Every structure is written in structure tokens, then in C-alpha cells.
Amino acid sequence: MNIIIAGDFCPYNRVQDLITENNFGDIVSNEVKEVFTRSDISIVNLECPIIGDASTSISKIGPNIKANKSSFSFLNYLGVNAVTLSNNHIMDYGTEGLKSTIEGCIENSIDYLGAGESFSEARKPLYIKSNSETIAFLNISENEFSTTHDNQPGANPLDLVSNYYDIIEAKKNSDYLILIYHGGHEGYKYPSPRMKKTFRYFIDLGVDIVVCHHSHCYSGYEKYKSKHIYYGLGNFIFDWPGSNNRPWNYGYFLEIETTSNQIELHPYIQSNIDVQLKPLNNKQKDIFLEDIDSINNIIINDSLLENQFLKLARERAKSYLSPMQPYPGYLLGGAYRRGVLPSIISKKKLLTYLNVSRCESHRDLYLETLNQMILK
């Protein structure tokens, strides 16, 4: 089969206006549309619930985003026939938003996977069959406010025990297994060492290709045991106000021929000063692929990858430590992050935070305690 896999699709801002006006050609170029429509399967990550205006957002850290139901018309126009729902925004408008999204997929003949009315529903694979082969898709995301682990609605979580059994079962029932993962560090072009180890583990279990998105910028890839791991596709269509000529605006989608396991990268620019998603010209593409090669050289080198991650941790240290500081409000918190105010966390408290975060047993109780306090 010929399969297209693209990154984060969120019909927001100018894109939503164009969809409402049915100006689909201004959102994506004809050249890109032709690639999607000629494929057997075209799949994107639906990064937000699709729901009407009368809806209530959940309490969470980060923005709550949504799109209106006309977005399905654009997906049909583009030739998208499947969406992944396991991401950190699919539950931004609660159960109502998830149900509305699933109902819209069904009404518009779009397959979905990665979320459901319970954990058992969310973890189900999607099987697509042709006369000659069966393709299986699994979709998981890192644990944030959207994931479920019980009978509550939500997204399929990163849970290595459950993921193990799901991969084994899906591999047994398919000829080609694709795992689509939503996670990583926003604005960071590399996987963490943990991600690299985890994705290689998925390949060891039988996955044929791992594809990742979420970081809102593209990353590189590696070949491991003759299988491919793509660490970040970047945004597909995601128009964020004020974001122009940044990593946010560049990405690539994959075109996969499963019978030959041939994979082609299609680099593009999207939601820039000109909102339309279009392929890069030859000069831009050469620069883009050179950057991918430099990223790949770091990915395959464990020492260099670790150094990049340590650098990231140093750069973002104050952002992570800021909520622990006793500085109230935006101004004092900002003064701490800029280095104007010192840290007031004692070493003993830092050790306590480290222990409850790192030790699995402590973390289990810590998370349950926080959940109970939030539900009071």
C-alpha cells in the first residue's frame, strides 16, 4: 500500500477562517493535495477536538484548543481517510469534545484510532486491509491531561506494559505495523535519550516503523535493525498567531510504500506569512535536508545526543523550577526565570522532589494524591 503520514493538524486561526469560507485551495497547494489523494491511506494527527461553540474546556496546564465541524469537509477535500487522536489536546473540551470528534469521523467516513470512551477502547489498533496485505496502526501519547488508564474517556497512554501486549497482538494480525507516537519536547529538534531507547524497544517488539510528532518542529530519523524511526514530523497545518519564519512553520510528511518499505520525505512550509502549505523549492529543500542530516548525525551518536539533552535541561531549568518557588504571580515568577530573584528551594526539598518524581512507588502515590486534591 501507499501510505501518507503527516504531523499535527489543528485548523486554527486563519486556517479555520478559510475552512469556514470553503477556500480549501488557499490552505494547501494542489501539488500536495495530489499526493494525498492518490495514496491508499492518508493519516494526520488531529491535534484538537472538533466541537460546536457551546462547549466547556477542562482545567489543565497549557492552551485549550478546538475546531468547528466544517473541518471535516477540509479533511475530505484533502483525501485524509484516517486520523490519530492520542495527543495532549484531544480532551481539551472533555468527554463532549471527544464524542463530537468521534461522531464527526464516523459521519465523514474517516477512520480514527488512539482515543475512546475507555482505556480498552483507546488502545485498539486500526487495521486496514487490501487484497494482498493488512496494515496495522497503533497510536499512543505521553501522559498529560488527555490520557486515560481506566474506564474514563481519553487518549491511549504511553504504558510500556500495555504497549508491549498491543504491539505483539497487532503484529500477529498484520503484515506491516506502524506505531504513531505523540510526545517529546516542544521546540526541540532532537529526541531525548529515553525516547530513542523506547522507540528502539518498539522496533525490537515487531513494529515496522515508528513515527513521532508533538514538538512543533521537525526532527531527524534513524534506521535501526532495518526499520525506520522518525523522531518528529513537525506541524502539518497549525496556524499559530505571530508564528512566522520559525521552525514552527516547517515540517515534512512521509510517503511509505509498504511492500518495498520505501519511504520518501516531502518537506514543506505551512502557516507562514502566506498561510498555504506548499512544498519547498529546490534550494529550500537542499537546506532542509542538510539540516536533517546534521540532526541525524547527533541522533545516532549516544554521547552527542546526551549532550544536547543536558544542554536543553540547563536552558529550561528555571521554567521547571519556577512553579516550586514561593514567588506568587506573573511578575515575581518572571523575575525568577530571568535570574533577577534567586532560588529559595532548599537542597532537602530538591531531593524530595527528585525522589517522588523518580521512584515509581512514590510517584504512584504522589500522582494519586494530586488527583484526589484536584477532584475535591
Q: Is residue 312 part of a domain?
A: no
Q: Is the pLDDT of residue 103 over 80?
A: yes
| Same domain for 240 and 194 | yes
Answer yes or no: do 48 and 188 share one domain. Answer: yes
Query: Over 70: is that where the pLDDT of 152 sits?
Result: yes
Confidence of residue 176 (pLDDT cuts 50, 70, 90): very high
CB 45 within 8 A of CB 9: yes
Backbone dihedral angles phi then psi of residue 331, each to the nearest 5 degrees: -70, -50
Does residue 311 lie in a domain region? no
Give residue 185's pLDDT: 96
Residue 63 has pLDDT above 70, yes or no: yes
Q: How far is Cα 207 from Cα 193, in angstroms, rounded to an integer?
A: 19
pLDDT 10s digits, 222-274: 999 999 999 999 999 999 999 999 999 999 999 999 999 899 999 999 999 99
What average pLDDT score do residues 337-354 get?
Answer: 93
Structural element, H or E, at residue 255: strand 250-257
Q: Evaluate if residue 365 carries a pLDDT over 80.
A: yes
Is residue 171 within 8 Å of residue 177, measured between CB atoms? Answer: yes
Residue 26 is predicted with a pLDDT of: 98
Please give the pLDDT value at position 54. 67
pLDDT at 4: 98
Shared domain for 264 and 342, answered yes or no, is no
Range of the domain at 170: 2-306
- What's the whole-number mean pLDDT along residues 338-367? 91
The rounded percent of the chain whose pLDDT value lies above 70 is: 100
- Domain edge (last residue) among 246, 276, 306: 306
Confidence tier at 57 by pLDDT (50, 70, 90): very high
Query: Is the predicted pLDDT of residue 314 greater than 90, yes or no?
Result: yes
Number of domains in the chain: 2
Mean pLDDT (whole number) for 28-45? 98
pLDDT at 346: 93
How far is Cα of residue 107 from the mean position of the Cα atoms in its chain? 24
According to DSSP, residue 118 is labeled S
Instruction: Place 330 in a pLDDT band, splitting at 50, 70 and 90.
Output: confident
Angle at 50 between CA 66 and CA 18, to 5 degrees: 75
- pLDDT at residue 376 is higher than 90: no
The answer to whether residues 244 and 161 belong to one domain is yes
Q: Rounded to whole angstroms, what are the CA distances from 182 to 116, 141, 278, 342, 345?
A: 16, 4, 24, 35, 33
> Is residue 113 in a domain?
yes
* Residue 360 binned pLDDT confidence (cut-offs 50, 70, 90): confident
**What are the C-alpha distances in Å from 352 to residues 57, 318, 327, 346, 359?**
33, 18, 19, 10, 11
Distance CA 162, CA 336 (A): 41
Tell me which of 306, 336, 352 is where a domain ends. Answer: 306
Helix (H/G/I), strand (E/B), else coil: 209: strand
User: Which residue's C-alpha cell is 492520542?
Assistant: 86
Is residue 14 a contact partner of residue 275, using CB atoms and an 8 Å limit?
yes
Last residue of a domain, one of 281, 306, 331: 306
d(CA 74, CA 77): 5
Does the global pTM surpass 0.75?
yes
Is residue 201 in some structural domain? yes
